[in-house]
Amino acid sequence: MSSGGGGPLGPALLVTPNPTADELVVDSEPTDEKDGSMELLLLNSNQEKVFHLAEARLPVSIPVSNLPEGTYYLMVITGKNKSVHRVLIEK
């Protein structure tokens, strides 16, 4: 799992707040390179898709208030690269 950092995906991704109860924001560290789209998938602990955005441009806000508490996994896909970020939802 990746929690950010530069590399093949470009600028480090920021997934905040974590833990969250209402909304999850995906953005990148300040840089001049906020171009290109990516695919976002939010999976529950059973690997079931609970949110999908095929062509996202940062920043993205994901509503999570309707989801039960637990551990979720945000998969960020850009081209052939992907990273996974663990997200906690607490009420």
Per residue in 32-86, pLDDT (tens digit) is 455 567 899 999 999 999 999 999 888 999 999 999 999 999 999 988 888 999 9
Residues 76/40, Cβ–Cβ less than 8 Å: yes
Nearby residues of 21 by Cβ (< 8 Å), 6 or more positions away = 64, 65, 89, 90, 91
Q: What is the pTM of this model?
A: 0.81
16: pLDDT strictly greater than 80: yes
